Every structure is written in structure tokens, then in C-alpha cells.
Structure 1
Amino acid sequence: MYLFSDMAYFIVYYVIGYRRKTVRHNLELVFGTSDRKRLGRIEKKFYRHLCDCMVETVKLLHISDKEIDRRVDVTNGELIDGIVRSGRSVVLFLGHYGNWEWVQAIIHHFHEPLVGGQIYRPLRNKVMDRLMLKVRSRFGLECIPQKNAVRRLIGIEREGKKFVIGFISDQRPLGSALHYWTDFLGQDTPYS
């Protein structure tokens, strides 16, 4: 699998140069410009990680439960199980760390009957959006569009069901969703 990632890295980094100026600019904002070699190493590691995530996401289309369990570690899952068993729902706040697309595979670790889902922002490209919905719902998660999230979660509660819902806090919120600013890697950053 990671051989494909290595090939993708070469194409994305050296041939296409996908967003290299933006990545370099962001690294310079955080680390300064004095050590160009260090910035280059970090930049290349970022692109390797990006390509790993791309290949891993495609792998989700056909990976088995057993294999995903070998790759995704659920630490303290019994805490979430306990909360749901006590009659409460759970909202998981996730960051853009690791391959967040693989988080969907944890839902079968919880034993109570519940609705597992993730809140997402639909993609502009309809073909890619359909593909990502297929990937994201493969392990039984319900994909809930961001604009319908509150209504759907209230509906689940009214049905007498409990949920474990995850969503990634977005550091580039839409203008209307801009509610909070925070310091992120030394930069004042909008956050939703």
C-alpha cells in the first residue's frame, strides 16, 4: 500500500508541486526562515504524510474490519461505552491529526445499540463527494451534512436512541461560521 504512497509523493511533490508555496509559507510563519534545510525536511515529511493519508483513504473502500482494527488503536473506548450505557450520547471532537478518515472504523468497538455518525461538510465536486460518502459510511456510520447536524441529532434523541458522533474542528470555517479565534502554531487562526 505504501509503495503507492511513495509514487504519489513523487508526483504530488516533484511533478505537480501541489500547494508547495502555501505549505512553505505556513512553515515559515511557524518556524521562521533561518534554517531552510530544516523547513525542506519538514515540508517533505508533510507531503509523505499527505500521500499516506490519500492512499489509506482509498484503502478504506475494501479494507476488512480485522485489518482496520490492526491499524487503528482505540484507547479507553470503555469510557465511551460507559457513557452510552448510562443513557447519554457522545460527541467526539477530532483534530486534523493522523488519518482522520480512519476514525470511522472505531464504531464497532462500542456495544450498545446506537447511531454512529460523523458531521461533514459536503464537497463542491459532486463526484468526489459521492466517493467520500461511500468511503465514510462503509463501516456503518451515518454521514450528517454540517448544515443539518443539529436537526438530525435532536431527531436521533427524540427517537429514543443514543449516538456517538464525531466531527473535525475546522480551522478554515466559512465566513458565516466564524465564531472563535485561537492561537494555532503561533498564528491567530479562525476556528469553528
Structure 2
Amino acid sequence: MASIGFYALKEDIRGLVHAIFEEGDLRVFESYSMYDSELREFRSFDELSGAFSLGSDPHGNGHAVTLQLWSPSVMPRVEFERIALKVHGHSFRYCISGVGLIQLHFGGEHEGIITDSHYGHWSEAGARQRAAGDVDAVDWSALSRLSGRIQRHIRTKMAVAKVRGRPILPAAFVALQRGLGLRYSSLQFHASSPDIQLLRGTAA
């Protein structure tokens, strides 16, 4: 998969989501609906912020918010699947699926640390080997161009520092300086860690 891990809090998410909505035909959906509800599409940062506590990760697993980005120019159709539930008091929920979707998962602040966020999607080679679905329905060149722009925006326009290759976005960096840590797998990093690398023009 083509992917990037990064650290972001609410104001960082605001900037990234605004950039995503500027990318022409990208549409933003939740990965799974709430129980007994239709799948929600978010057409603005305000709608997304109204649905989720962005920048907070209550369970500390990096999946506080899980979204799917769909570009009809990359893949003309997606599937909205109704899932039957075996949960007392609930009967169904929906998910969105498609080989050419982009996954965007937001972590956030949890008990003194910032969990990592994730952006990723199938590469053509990986999809042909392992993905379920119509691989030939995806314009892989268009996906590569679109994804490249988003990843460059994260790495070169938003990031002010990085840790082991993972971009740290501005609000997360400020929180790091104020004492929060960054979680990387089973490791934690703090502002004094030699693994924190400032990018050009960033003041410590």
C-alpha cells in the first residue's frame, strides 16, 4: 500500500481537510455508519467537526475517526454495503468499499500522548495481488497523481518536523513542545528526543 503516518491535532486536521476539499472531485465518507443509520458523507470541515471530536483519541488506538476518500475520476463507482448485525438492540450498519478508495484515519491526544494518524490506499501491484474487488475499474495513474499531491501537501506544506520519517504537523508540534509525547508503535518520543527532526524554518 501507498501510505504515510503523521501526527495531527484539530487545527492540523482542519488544514488537511480544507486541502482535500480543494482537490476537485474528492468526496469524504465515514468508513462505517453508526448502528441502524445510513452512511454519512461530509461536505465540509464543519460537518466533520460536528460529527467527531477531532484531535482527541479516546481509546488511544489511532482510529478515533476513520474516513474513506472517493474520487469518481479515479473510480466511477463504489459499493455501499448493508451489514447485518448480531448486536442486541441493533440490526444493521453500512460501510463503503472499493479498491480505489483512500483511507484517512485520525488519531489524536490520549492520556498525555498524541497517537498517529494514517493516510493510505492500495498500490496497483498490491491490489492485483491481494485486493478483493474490480482492480481494472481504477484509474491507477489518476490515483497516483492525486495521492502524490495530498502526500506532498502533508510532507512539504504542513509538516514542521518529523520523527522517524513521520511528519509532525504544526498544532501537534506545539503540543509536543508543551510536554505531550508522540507514540510510534510501542515507542514514545518527547520534545527532547534526538529522533525529532526540525524542518527548515521551524523554531524549537
Please tell me the TM-score bracket, short chain as reference.
Answer: under 0.3
> TM (normalized to structure 1)?
0.26
Higher relative contact order (Cα pairs below 8 Å, separated by 6+ residues): 2
> TM (normalized to structure 2)?
0.25
Q: Which structure has greater helix proportion?
A: 1
Is the radius of gyration larger for structure 1 or structure 2? 1
Q: Which structure has greater strand proportion?
A: 2
